[in-house]
Structure 1
């Protein structure tokens, strides 16, 4: 019986992974639409709560304010990234010359007399294929953006009737209360994770921008935006957030002082926020095993690319809470947890 159950679980997991990979083009816009809906809804809830002078915003006004804020942020980020990409292309000859000098110096250090040129290193790359891939990716992003907005809009329409549908499906009061308790716990954990992550990501990006602007690093605003997004990717994101600005600084300047300043300051900020502040603020709310986080990062990154890397932790939090609600899957939830303490079953 145990072998049969293990075989059944193996088949279910394999089929699920296959569907996630094969249906990536269909599922990813839906998931991104769900994420966008959730962000707008959470921000609208924050606006709706009484703040200064106990002013209570009506739901439509709070929702409109949330849409404007999220849309404005995406517009600013898009303009920042777009303008800096153009500037990077214009400055690329200078970086190429500096990078060639670093390659030559590195080759001499290891005893290679004739250092390869950048053209020799990248002669296998087809410019036409590269430009075609970039154009295809840009067109794909534009098309997905429209679909994501459509899905998010319909989710807001569906939200108005979701509570009534839930009451009809789970007619028994006990079942309905249990489902609502699980959904409320998932909502509470995810909102806490997003709030803390966003606060720390903003702090790291602002500090990074101040340091890079003070040193004189090119495109400091662009790299500050990258620091913000990379903070949402566990472990790997912190490493990239330290390495990318430091390498750019090394290529840009002829001496090591700016490189060391950027490396040490941004590296210290990333290490302190990711390893000291974040665990202290999140506490036991997530309680995911670090090994599970790394494995989920690799798995979801392989399945859904960068989007999967951003969503791997929220997905595993939802999985942990749901698996903890059933006796047959509670052992799996224990294995996913950091210390074996998992959420109690909803009454």
Structure 2
């Protein structure tokens, strides 16, 4: 029997090693992780197309799958083109908006009669607007440059997915262990599918409504801000707040009066509040079973490791960790701490994963 101190030490070393590998291998892992998400969405959309009834007839898989593939890549190309055009135009106009923002600070200082006028550089770094636009353009450029690698990964995943079940089954020594592994995979798939399905629908609605509100008010780059709202809605808590701040700040420097600023801030704020606090919780339910504090810590952790992609994926990654940890006796305390209410379901039978708490167990080959 190993002492608890040795077990804890080995666990800390293992977690540290995994964290180091995630950070060091970021350039290699991120395209593959994005490819996994795209591959997952293609299969989910394909199944969704097959569920749509046309009278008594449903789309067969050989039609639904290519349709889903064309839909995903067509939408990605279309959105990327729109975002690129809007960012290019915004980059050209950024110095003008920077100057206008400095004028607003000057007017505010004169209005409240400050002896030492507040300047933009006192609160933010110099050239903050051009820097933000440049950072956004750099993100899109990085995304586009890795698109070819992501496409290759997705292609190989699609070509080999028919062999995944057979490979997984042959990893185990008997049929009971294989069934347990398939059941675990099904539970992970169900939870992640539930999250991504609802979150994607809500994010699309958020992006479209953001674009609609900004178009009605007459603010430029409505499509760009709609895309930003769509992406940021995947980021828990802070994403919706940032999605309101960006267009509100542009309205502040674009118009000569404050009415459009208040209209955009109020309209987007109410829309984000209604969707985030009324619609989404009712659709999502309590199926994720994650503590709010854990979500925030996960957001900080994965954001520090993988940036925006990590922040977008922090919830499904944490859900997968909770489900897997809940199935094994040694790791169940971790799942309890990460969960919202401590209800993490039943663990796997020790015989199925080769442990009964006293040492390794062997199973006859099936």
- TM-score computed with the length of structure 2 as normaliser: 0.87
Mapping for residues 258-337 of structure 1, pairs under 5 Å: 258-337=260-339
Residues 133, 185 of structure 1: alpha-carbon distance in 2 compared, 3 angstrom cutoff? closer
Residues 258, 187 of structure 1: alpha-carbon distance in 2 compared, 3 angstrom cutoff? same
Residues 40, 144 of structure 1: alpha-carbon distance in 2 compared, 3 angstrom cutoff? same
Where does structure 1 lack aligned partners over 5 or more consecutive residues?
A: none
Equivalent residue for 2:346? 344
How far apart, CA to CA, are the structure 2 residues paired with 1:248 and 1:139? Answer: 23
CA deviation map 1:13-41 (0-9, x unaligned): 11110111111111111111111111111
Mapping for residues 1-347 of structure 1, pairs under 5 Å: 1-49=3-51, 51-108=53-110, 109=112, 111-113=114-116, 116=119, 140-346=142-348
Residues 116, 288 of structure 1: alpha-carbon distance in 2 compared, 3 angstrom cutoff? closer
Q: How far apart are residue 250 of structure 1 and its match?
A: 1.2
Residues 329, 102 of structure 1: alpha-carbon distance in 2 compared, 3 angstrom cutoff? same
Q: CA RMSD in A?
A: 2.7
Q: How far apart are residue 50 of structure 1 and its match?
A: 5.2
How far apart, CA to CA, are the structure 1 residues paired with 2:282 and 2:100? Answer: 42
How far apart, CA to CA, are the structure 2 residues paired with 1:4 and 1:256? Answer: 63
The alignment covers a number of residue pairs equal to: 345
Question: Is the CA contact (8 Å cut-off) linking 1:182 and 1:346 kept in structure 2?
Answer: no
49-58 or 220-229: which moved more? 49-58
Q: How far apart are residue 260 of structure 1 and its match?
A: 1.1
Residues 80, 260 of structure 1: alpha-carbon distance in 2 compared, 3 angstrom cutoff? same
103-112 or 250-259: which moved more? 103-112
Question: Is the CA contact (8 Å cut-off) linking 1:29 and 1:144 kept in structure 2?
Answer: yes
Question: Is the CA contact (8 Å cut-off) linking 2:49 and 2:59 kept in structure 1?
Answer: yes
Residues 139, 73 of structure 1: alpha-carbon distance in 2 compared, 3 angstrom cutoff? closer
Question: Is the CA contact (8 Å cut-off) linking 1:227 and 1:241 kept in structure 2?
Answer: yes
Provide the secondary structure at the position in 2 that maps to 1:328: helix
- TM-score computed with the length of structure 1 as normaliser: 0.91
86-95 or 316-325: which moved more? 86-95
Question: Is the CA contact (8 Å cut-off) linking 1:205 and 1:228 kept in structure 2?
Answer: yes
Question: Is the CA contact (8 Å cut-off) linking 2:87 and 2:133 kept in structure 1?
Answer: no
Question: Is the CA contact (8 Å cut-off) linking 1:181 and 1:346 kept in structure 2?
Answer: no
